[in-house]
Chain A
Amino acid sequence: EADIYQTPRYLVIGTGKKITLECSQTMGHDKMYWYQQDPGMELHLIHYSYGVNSTEKGDLSSESTVSRIRTEHFPLTLESARPSHTSQYLCASSDNRGSGANVLTFGAGSRLTVL
């Protein structure tokens, strides 16, 4: 079944640790995104990619980095986590073909807590 997967679902780590949040989709979508969401707040775009070897920063400044070496894989990395990075991170993908243009399919999210 075509879907988008995020791991880990929950992560609690100490300050200064390096973490990578994984995101994979099996739908062959060209576009992929990372959003950050805090409780009761709107989603904020932090990174996006239009295809392999394409990555751009989003509207919200983030110390994280991303890579897109394969179409289906869009991992997000924090080199040195801080408590201010505590948040929910949502990965999404979309294609721009037909009537479903740019409709996002979201993963279940990764809840990061930095102590």
Chain B
Amino acid sequence: KNQVEQSPQSLIILEGKNCTLQCNYTVSPFSNLRWYKQDTGRGPVSLTIMTFSENTKSNGRYTATLDADTKQSSLHITASQLSDSASYICVVSDRGSTLGRLYFGRGTQLTVWP
């Protein structure tokens, strides 16, 4: 069964600290992996998208890594800010059809305290 598992489920850090969120997947075949940020009461917003051949991609203070061999990805947030408080969702797309079906994780709820 194709699945996307994220850890931790929730995380609290102090402003200015770094953190790393994890995503493990069993989706096969694999096309790409995306990280989305979802603020409370809003829709998800894309942070990064990585294909099979990419193992790291940055977007400002966000850096995503991908190990396609172990089927693991991480999202590292540097020098956290209060506005980073949100749910971070890992999404994996397969190549099984022209639809490029998407598999969603349940997200990691990050809270940044002042």
The verdict on A92 contacting B34 (CB below 8 Å), with A40-B106, A42-B105 known, is no
The closest CB in chain B to the CB of A94 belongs to B100
Size class of A's contact patch?
20 to 34
Counting CB contacts under 8 A, is A19 at the interface? no
The verdict on A103 contacting B107 (CB below 8 Å), with A45-B102, A108-B41, A109-B41 known, is no
Please pick, from B34, B41, B107, the residue contacting A42 in the complex, using a CB distance under 8 A.
Answer: B107
Size class of B's contact patch?
10 to 19
Counting CB contacts under 8 A, is A20 at the interface? no
The closest CB in chain B to the CB of A109 belongs to B43
How far is the CB of B23 from the nearest CB of chain A, in Å?
12
How far is the CB of B106 from the nearest CB of chain A, in Å?
5
Most buried by A among B41, B49, B102, B109: B102
The answer on a CB contact under 8 Å between B43 and A108 is: yes
Please pick, from B43, B49, B109, the residue contacting A90 in the complex, using a CB distance under 8 A.
Answer: B43
Name A's B-contacting residues (CB within 8 A): 4, 6, 40-45, 90-92, 101-109, 111
For the complex with contacts A42-B107, A105-B46, 9 further pairs of A-B residues with Cβ separation under 8 Å are: A4-B43, A6-B43, A40-B109, A41-B106, A42-B104, A43-B44, A45-B102, A102-B93, A109-B41
